[in-house]
């Protein structure tokens, strides 16, 4: 699973000398009006690096996508792929399909988790001392909106980190208890 806040949509107008990076960087993409590319992916430093060479482009998170100038028909296709304009029951019906690809199921699982555990909650910041931070990040990516490593002690595998999450302090202590110092 991933955190819904880490999903980005990239718009590259190819008519403005835009360069199309490898389609492998995008989990879902659409070409429209003969010279516009829209790609959906999980935000990463590799993607951002590749997009620097793409020329003129715009990147939207899910919240800003709604207010973008991208045509509504294209937005609806993206939101349908992600499951954001569907009910949980509709998403579960799609997930029962044996033909569903693994990548889309990751997005759909993430949207279900968001709707059942995070929607309506505000993002909170915490300064934490944790052990095995990389393992924590991999075990709970859906709960980590963003993080900054403040200090790292390699000998004890301890890391001081500023973490943003939807979790309350109680939920954080309960869920991350094996990692908190």
Q: What is the pLDDT of residues 128-174, one digit of tens each?
A: 999 999 899 999 999 999 999 998 877 668 889 999 999 999 999 99
- Nearest-angstrom CA–CA distance, 122 and 167: 9
Asked which of 37-46, 91-100, 172-181 is least confident by mean pLDDT, the reply is 91-100
Residue 57: the pLDDT is 86
Report how far Cα 7 is from the mean position of its chain's Cα atoms.
Answer: 3
Which carries the bigger pLDDT value, residue 48 or residue 113? 113
- All structural domains of the chain with their residue ranges: 1-120, 124-175
Which carries the bigger pLDDT value, residue 55 or residue 59? 59
Question: Which positions ≥6 away from 16 have C-beta within 8 Å?
Answer: 55, 56
Full-model pTM: 0.85
Share of the chain above pLDDT 70, in %: 97
Helix, strand, or coil here: 176? coil
């Amino acid at each position: 699973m991933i955190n819904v806040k880490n999903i980005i949509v990239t718009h590259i107008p190819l008519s403005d000398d835009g360069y199309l990076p490898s389609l492998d960087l995008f989990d879902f993409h659409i070409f429209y009006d003969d010279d516009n590319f829209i790609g959906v992916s999980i935000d990463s430093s590799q993607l951002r690096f590749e997009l620097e060479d793409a020329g003129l482009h715009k990147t939207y998170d899910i919240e800003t996508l709604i207010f973008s100038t991208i045509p509504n028909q294209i937005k609806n296709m993206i939101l349908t792929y992600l499951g954001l304009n569907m009910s949980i029951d509709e998403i579960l019906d799609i997930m029962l399909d044996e033909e569903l690809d693994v990548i889309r199921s990751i997005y759909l699982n993430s949207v279900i988790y968001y709707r059942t555990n995070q929607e309506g909650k505000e993002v909170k910041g915490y300064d934490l001392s944790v052990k095995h931070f990389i393992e924590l990040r991999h075990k709970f990516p859906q709960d980590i909106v963003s993080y900054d490593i403040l200090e790292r002690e390699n000998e004890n595998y301890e890391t001081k980190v500023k973490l943003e999450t939807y979790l309350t302090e109680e939920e954080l202590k309960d869920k991350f208890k094996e990692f908190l110092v």
